[in-house]
Structure 1
Amino acid sequence: MSQYSFEFRQQLQRECHPLVDGLGTAYGYKPSLAAGIVYLVLFGLSMIVHTIQFTWKRTWWCAVFSIGCLTEVLGWAGRTWSAECPYNMNAFLMQISTLIIAPTFFTAGIYVLLGRFIQILGRESSILSPKMYLWIFCTCDVISLVVQAVGGGMASIETGKEDGDTAPGTHIMVAGIVFQMFSITVFVVCAADFVRRVIRHRLLQSTSGSIYPLFGAMVFSVICIYVRSIYRTIELSQGWDGYLITREKYFIALDGAMMVAAVAVFNIFHPGWLMPTSKAMHYERELASEDGYGAATEMR
């Protein structure tokens, strides 16, 4: 039993109050102000650069990376707020809801990017069509987010009650993150099959050199998102007082750093600059055929 009254704890959740000795926070620690500011700056800069890039090159689908960065900015703003007001529940709910949602926008961008690769390299490069990637995996992302939102809402309501039971909401939230982990795992398997087919059929040999770094950036981003998904699955499955969720260093390294790397890599290797068009690729393949002279003549 806490030495502080329920009314006092409720008051702390509504106001901005410094850390009180003997009274834990919803995080299990006081969030780092320095980490909050650093990630605010990093995601903010990536968002600005992505916005300039997709506007300049008119690759409008790349707006999902900017939206994801904006969602991350809101989440880390909540954690920065919590660094000054560690008991405020609005700040806590703000960060937990946005930081769970944000990677969905990054994965959506990768689904589109993989679809573009399939269109360029040919249908033999993938077991699924580009449209199927979007329909299947974006639908799975939406379902998992709805389930997590319902579970998070139930748990947050219970935290506002004296002796409230957060277990049912937490279990639903974990079910949502596990489903998301499952869908990302299936996507990783499909992406690995895509890489295998590309290598096996030597499809990249008929492409321009600029596609290689973009291809590598996509693989790198998928790995970062997958590492983050494994971490969040284990973290939430341990409960609100588990080992991982109550130690900020793991969150900073396995969520924040992974997401910065996953989205910032496309600032460096942006699809607008590096992705060749299907028409240009068709022309290159014709020139690379055995009867290069005849092919070039036909293209005239």
Structure 2
Amino acid sequence: MSRTHLNNEDLFGYIPNATWAKAATGLLCVACLLHIAAFIKSPKSVAWVVIIGTLGEIGGWLCRLYANYRVQTATFFIFQFLVLLVAPIFYSAVLYVLLYRWSLHYGPQFSLLRPKYYVAIFVTADVIAFIVQIAGGGLSNNDTNPKLGFYIALAGVIFQLVCTVLFCVLQLIFVISVIRVRPVRVVPGSYALYSPRTKLRDLSFLCLTISTIAVLVRIIYRTAEFADNDKFKGSELWFDILDFVPMFITALFLAPALYPSIYKPVNSGAPERLYSHSSQDLSMDEERSILK
């Protein structure tokens, strides 16, 4: 069948289930409302980024819903593919920002990477991975050399997976370092935590960790799906369980992860300006002066 006459069943490998798409859209709307409420209560938070990502997820699932009713058009497949590829990037960006904030909250000496690099490095990596995947996807639809496009897109997915795993490792190192109160970077001065751990803060960070794991699960699935599409194509169940569920968990658990105290220096030696969402990171001299 010609590419120009492919319908949704040809592209998806199935007709998206309308009931599941409605349920997914409804659940994501609930998560979105939670973050809208959080943003209203704490405008300095990064809840607005989660809202954008969740709206993208909602848009993607609405496209899947309409794809059930209009089987003969491929438009909805293309739209859902793009928005469900872009939306998780906003979730990941929030994870990077939150680990950056927690690093300032407890002290940059407990972070293997200097706090400001979490956002700079990993957001850039996600954008590069997205561009590579889109470029590869475009080439794979070209009858001239579809295999080249496939391998380029696969390289983008694998690159994103590697970066996500690296971030998870850095977050794990930070958690262990804070729990043991053992700095992982040599910085002159005190080795104590800037702010004491509390049950509420630990719960908030646990929610951040759960969100991070959910993002990792999704990208592992996406990599496996892309590498061996024939194994997953034809069954919507894999996509529902390993794409929607992790993204819904991420959207839901990022709400308590945005615990407002991390935006304020409570018993902290860090300057208050550093807790604004538009603030800049500590310089090395500032880190040293605070730790003295």
Q: Normalization by structure 1: what TM-score?
A: 0.80
Larger radius of gyration: 1
User: Root-mean-square deviation (CA), in Å?
Assistant: 2.3
| Other-structure match for 1:278 | 265
Q: What letter matches 1:198 in structure 2? A: V
Residues 45, 263 of structure 2: 8 Å contact kept: no
Q: Is the partner of 1:25 in helix, strand or coil? A: helix
Q: Displacement of 1:157 after TM fit?
A: 5.2
Q: Is the partner of 2:64 in helix, strand or coil? A: helix
Take 1:236 and 1:12, find their aligned partners in 2: how far apart are those partners? 19
Q: Is the partner of 1:262 in helix, strand or coil? A: helix
Q: Displacement of 1:275 after TM fit?
A: 3.0
CA deviation vs aligned residue, 1:244-264 (integer Å, no higher than 9, x gap):
133110100000001000110
Percent identical among aligned pairs is 29
Q: Displacement of 1:213 after TM fit?
A: 0.9
| Other-structure match for 2:27 | 42
| Other-structure match for 1:291 | none
CA deviation vs aligned residue, 1:58-103 (integer Å, no higher than 9, x gap):
1342211101101111111111111112342111111111111111
Aligned pairs for 1:99-114 (under 5 A) are: 99-114=84-99
Q: What letter matches 2:82 in structure 1? A: S
Q: Displacement of 1:280 after TM fit?
A: 3.5
Cα 1:40/1:135, change in 2 over 3 Å = same
Q: Displacement of 1:169 after TM fit?
A: 2.3
Aligned pairs for 1:171-210 (under 5 A) are: 171-201=151-181, 203=193, 206-210=196-200
Q: What letter matches 1:188 in structure 2? A: C
| Other-structure match for 1:250 | 238
* Bigger mean CA deviation after superposition, 86-95 or 178-187: 86-95
Cα 1:124/1:196, change in 2 over 3 Å = same
Residues 214, 275 of structure 1: 8 Å contact kept: no
* Bigger mean CA deviation after superposition, 146-155 or 257-266: 146-155
Matched, 1:142 2:114: no
Cα 1:106/1:43, change in 2 over 3 Å = same
Q: What letter matches 2:168 in structure 1? A: V
| Other-structure match for 1:218 | 208
Q: Is the partner of 2:237 in helix, strand or coil? A: helix
Cα 1:95/1:157, change in 2 over 3 Å = farther
| Other-structure match for 1:287 | none
Residues 207, 281 of structure 1: 8 Å contact kept: no
Q: Normalization by structure 2: what TM-score?
A: 0.82
Q: Displacement of 1:132 after TM fit?
A: 0.6
Which among 148, 160, 166 is matched to residue 168 of structure 1?
A: 148
| Other-structure match for 1:123 | 108
Take 1:45 and 1:110, find their aligned partners in 2: how far apart are those partners? 20
Residues 29, 58 of structure 2: 8 Å contact kept: yes
Residues 107, 194 of structure 2: 8 Å contact kept: no
| Other-structure match for 1:263 | 251
Cα 1:87/1:183, change in 2 over 3 Å = farther
Take 1:204 and 1:119, find their aligned partners in 2: how far apart are those partners? 8
Take 1:185 and 1:171, find their aligned partners in 2: how far apart are those partners? 21
Take 1:44 and 1:154, find their aligned partners in 2: how far apart are those partners? 35
Structure 2, gaps ≥5 residues long: 183-192, 271-292
Q: Is the partner of 1:243 in helix, strand or coil? A: helix
| Other-structure match for 2:18 | 33
Q: Which has the higher contact order (CA 8 A, sep 6+)?
A: 2
Structure 1, gaps ≥5 residues long: 14-18, 159-163, 284-300
Q: How many residues align?
A: 260
Residues 28, 58 of structure 2: 8 Å contact kept: yes
CA deviation vs aligned residue, 1:205-251 (integer Å, no higher than 9, x gap):
82333211111001111111101111100000113xx1113311010
